[in-house]
Amino acid sequence: MSATIKFSLADSASRRDGTCATKTIRNEPFARQGEIGLSKCVAGGLFLILLLIGVTAQAAGHADWTESELTILRSLALSSLPPLPAAPSNRFADNPAAVELGRRLFFDRRLSSNGEVACASCHDPERDFQDGRSLAKGVGQANRRAMPLVGMAYSPWLFWDGRKDSQWAQALGPLENANEHNLSRGRCAKLILEHYKPEYSTVFGAPPDLSGVPENAGPLGDKRARRAWSGLDDTARDAVNRVFANAGKAIAAYERRIVWDESRFDAYVRSLGEQASARPENSLSTEEIAGLKLFIGKGHCVECHRGPMFTDLDFHNTGVPVRAGLPKDLGRLAGAERVVADEFNCLGRYSDARLEQCRELNFINKDNRRLLRAYKPPSLRNVAERPPYMHAGQFASLQAVIGHYNRAPAAPAGHSEIKPLHLKAAEIRQLKAFLKTLSGTIRSPAAAPSAFQSYPNVFDSHHKEPVGQ
Amino acid sequence: MNNLTLPHIALGMTLAMTIFPSWAMADDRISDKGLYRVRWQSQAPEVTTDLIHDWLLHVETVDRRPADNLAITISAHMPGHAHGLPTQPRATDYLGNGDYRIAGMKFQMSGVWWVRFDFWRKNRRDWVIFEVPVK
Ligand SMILES: [Cu+2]
């Protein structure tokens, strides 16, 4: 492609290469402050001195953000997050009875082969709806790290590889995954009607009769389950699928209301718009502000971790290493195939969306080598609260993550999009300090139900009011 | 930064970006082999929560006649960045008079993008690249 390009933008093309020229551009505000005639190559020492000048100015209460930096800061603030988007494939998404049913299903450990695994097992409200493990643990051990569920109503793709295109379709995956809830689809549908028939009927209408469906029957289960599944007629399979999909829709109605509250960073951005006299003095420390400056500048973090969710919700190969002992992982390349083939996708018969409401799926980018080992950047909100990091928990700490981006090693497969940053130890500390300012409380509908009371670590003082009900 | 260029808020907001009004329609460009004169126009996004939107692509021959019956493919990337669009846009309709609807445009990063259109007609291929600053 490059051979065909008839014009060149040397500046853009080289801006990620970490050269000294890049630094002079990035330090524009500092240079302007002192009118220092920077040569094209700035020594690291001088850079640090200039940084300190900037930091001193901020400590004195004079934020020295440029207009374009301020625009970026505002775009990152939680106040820029729009209201919950519609969920056209789930017409029960905003039905209060569905939210309540979904909440109960979410915490119900009976929905597993051993009676010990609920959605909340790996998506623990006390841990920001994740589990703190490198690899999720259900009935067995999964091949990926559990993702935090917060804010995922805004995401067009679910899972690290985006193999689902709605929260309700996502919720179905673990239920019949052998390493997670390990239910056959037939068993799952029967359990739901067994325990929640009145609630189900209230939301979805009269449930189908599943008495003719064997306990162990499903398209993804063991050999016996698959044989039993193919032995069912279309009507029976459709009845099971319908109950199964509806369970997902109820769970999604609950999950979509799991949202962030303001962090210290958000309060800081808000204070920037206020009179200097009304501004809280130290809402961010000089070190945190320096980290923020790196985040939106030299660190290039904001290119993918952008907007109020601190993610572009797309897929990127950043050269994250392979975790030994796991099956080959193609990332988005496989995820795109799977979501197109998924019978519960936006275009499938269990979706409530019209064709024109499925544009993400309709215009999906697949069959593209750039998708090999590309994964969705998670939101960085509350990131400091949930090590380990990456899709299989490859990095134990933020320090290790930033170190990876700083070195930018070659990708195990495909091509990494990142280039070395040449951050110094002090700058890595500043970035880390900034990331910690992104922590805030998480809000979710109501408290855990009685069915889940025996589960440890679910009740938490900071889960209080229902959201959006 | 004034209100006009504040990123519009929509799905994920993280994806939100507005093409500068002054860039919403590019000047004509002549394709690489000189077969076509091309310009594009971004359609205002629909009032929905996502930012997938259509472009209108006008293609005429260099002697100013509408170029119909073209097969068109679309690709884009950011110079210096190793990623493309999150979507795969397609030319979905021929609207007559050399106008093609390009559906499924979506950018996930602000900055300069190079958007390339390839044209095929009777085994003759030509292409054009537009520089598009995405805010
Ligand atoms: Cu980019």
ipTM: 0.78
pLDDT in tens, B50-67: 478 899 999 999 999 999
Determine the residue among B13, B47, B90 to mutate to test chain A binding: the one whose Cβ has the most chain A Cβ atoms within 10 Å: B13
Determine the residue among A2, A302, A365, A366 to mutate to test chain B binding: the one whose Cβ has the most chain B Cβ atoms within 10 Å: A365
Mean pLDDT lowest for which of A32-46, A236-250, A363-377, B65-79? Answer: A32-46
Q: What is the mean pLDDT of residues A12-26?
A: 31
CB contact under 8 A, B1 and A71: yes
Mean pLDDT lowest for which of A13-27, A35-49, A296-310? Answer: A13-27
In a domain, residue A314? The reply is yes
Answer yes or no: do A150 and A242 share one domain: yes
Cβ-Cβ contacts under 8 Å for B26 (sequence gap 6 or more)? B39, B40, B130, B132
| A208 contact B CB<8A | no
Q: What is the mean pLDDT of residues A140-148?
A: 93
Residues A87, A166 contacting (CB under 8 angstroms) = yes
Q: What is the mean pLDDT of residues A354-366?
A: 95
| B9 contact A CB<8A | yes
Distance from C-alpha of A54 to C-alpha of A36, rounded to nearest angstrom = 13
Considering its fold, how many domains does chain B have in total? 1
CB contact under 8 A, A312 and B13: no
Residues A160, A375 contacting (CB under 8 angstroms) = yes
Distance from C-alpha of A466 to C-alpha of A447, rounded to nearest angstrom = 8
Q: What angle do CA A420, B18, A73 make, to 5 degrees?
A: 55
B13 vs A67, A82, A365: nearest CB: A82
Is A265 a residue whose pLDDT tops 60? yes
CB contact under 8 A, B88 and A365: yes
Q: What is the mean pLDDT of residues A426-438?
A: 97
Answer yes or no: do A113 and A197 share one domain: yes
In a domain, residue A32? The reply is yes
In a domain, residue B79? The reply is yes
Q: Which residues pair with A4 in a beta bridge?
A: none
Distances (CA, A) of A441 to A76, A79, A128, A259, A405: 17, 15, 8, 9, 27
CB contact under 8 A, A5 and B52: no
Determine what percent of chain A is predicted with pLDDT higher than 90. Answer: 75
Residues of A whose CB is below 8 A from B110: 306
Distances (CA, A) of B80 to A20, A303, A369, A407: 17, 13, 17, 18
pLDDT at B51: 75
Is B2 a residue whose pLDDT tops 60? no
Q: What is the mean pLDDT of residues A301-318?
A: 93
Q: What is the mean pLDDT of residues A115-131?
A: 93
Answer yes or no: do A308 and A455 share one domain: no
Q: Which residue has the higher pLDDT, B98 or A64?
A: B98
pLDDT at A89: 98
- Angstroms from A346 CA to nearest CA on chain B: 14
Q: What is the mean pLDDT of residues B14-19?
A: 34
Is A465 a residue whose pLDDT tops 70? no
R_g over Cα of chain A: 24
Domain boundary among A43, A60, A77: A60
Residues of A whose CB is below 8 A from B6: 71, 74
User: pLDDT-derived band of residue A280, with 50, 70 and 90 as boundaries?
Assistant: low
Q: What is the mean pLDDT of residues B69-97?
A: 92
Q: Which residue has the higher pLDDT, A388 or B51?
A: A388
The helix (run of H) or strand (run of E) holding residue B131 is strand B124-134
B127 vs A4, A71, A368: nearest CB: A4
Residues of B whose CB is below 8 A from A416: 82
Q: Which residues pair with A430 in a beta bridge?
A: none
pLDDT at B79: 87
pLDDT in tens, B33-52: 999 999 998 885 532 334 78
Q: Which residue has the higher pLDDT, B84 or A158?
A: A158
User: pLDDT-derived band of residue A358, with 50, 70 and 90 as boundaries?
Assistant: very high
In a domain, residue B1? The reply is no
Residue from A469, A342, A349 nearest A89 by CA? A349
User: pLDDT-derived band of residue A448, with 50, 70 and 90 as boundaries?
Assistant: very low
pLDDT at A100: 95
User: pLDDT-derived band of residue A333, with 50, 70 and 90 as boundaries?
Assistant: very high
Is A45 a residue whose pLDDT tops 60? no
Residues A129, A106 contacting (CB under 8 angstroms) = no
Distance from C-alpha of B65 to C-alpha of B53, rounded to nearest angstrom = 27
pLDDT at B112: 85
Whether pTM exceeds 0.95: no
Determine what percent of chain B is predicted with pLDDT higher than 90. Answer: 50
Q: What is the mean pLDDT of residues B85-112?
A: 92
Answer yes or no: do A127 and A212 share one domain: yes
Question: What token pair was written down for A74?
Answer: 């505002």
* Cα dihedral sign, A6-A10-A11-A15: positive
Interface of B with A in 36-75 (CB under 8 A): 48-50, 52, 75
A6 vs B9, B108, B129: nearest CB: B129
Q: β-strand B53-61 against B71-77: which pairing, if any?
A: unpaired
In a domain, residue A301? The reply is yes
In a domain, residue B45? The reply is yes
Answer yes or no: do A203 and A255 share one domain: yes
Mean pLDDT lowest for which of A51-55, A316-320, A424-428? Answer: A51-55
Answer yes or no: do A299 and A160 share one domain: no
In a domain, residue B28? The reply is yes
Q: Which residue has the higher pLDDT, A447 or A249?
A: A249
pLDDT at A26: 29
In a domain, residue A164? The reply is yes
pLDDT at A63: 59
Considering its fold, how many domains does chain A have in total? 3
Is residue A219 reached through a cis peptide bond, with omega within 30 degrees of 0 on the bond before it? Answer: no
In a domain, residue B11? The reply is no
Distances (CA, A) of B55 to A44, A381, B33, B77, B97: 45, 34, 23, 17, 15
| B7 contact A CB<8A | yes
pLDDT at A64: 83
CATH number for B31 = 2.60.40.1930
Interface of A with B in 398-417 (CB under 8 A): 415-417
Answer yes or no: do A128 and A239 share one domain: yes
| B77 contact A CB<8A | yes
Across the A/B interface, how many CB contacts are shorter than 8 Å? Answer: 131
Answer yes or no: do A11 and A109 share one domain: no
Is B15 a residue whose pLDDT tops 50? no
Answer yes or no: do A143 and A250 share one domain: yes
- Angstroms from B125 CA to nearest CA on chain A: 13
Is B16 a residue whose pLDDT tops 80? no
- 3-state helix/strand/coil string of A400-426: HHHHHHHHCCCCCCCCCCCCCCCCCHH
Burial A302-333 (b: 16+ CB within 10 A, else e): bbbbbbbbbbbbbbbbbbbeebeeeeebbbbb
| B109 contact A CB<8A | yes
In a domain, residue B8? The reply is no
Mean pLDDT lowest for which of A116-120, A241-245, A272-276, A285-289? Answer: A272-276
In a domain, residue B63? The reply is yes
Nearest CA in chain B to A303: B109
In a domain, residue B2? The reply is no
pLDDT at B95: 95
Domain that holds residue A288: 67-85+262-327+374-440
Q: What is the mean pLDDT of residues A244-248?
A: 98
Domain that holds residue B130: 16-134
Residues of A whose CB is below 8 A from B93: none
CATH number for A273 = 1.10.760.10
Is A49 a residue whose pLDDT tops 50? no
Answer yes or no: do A78 and A151 share one domain: no
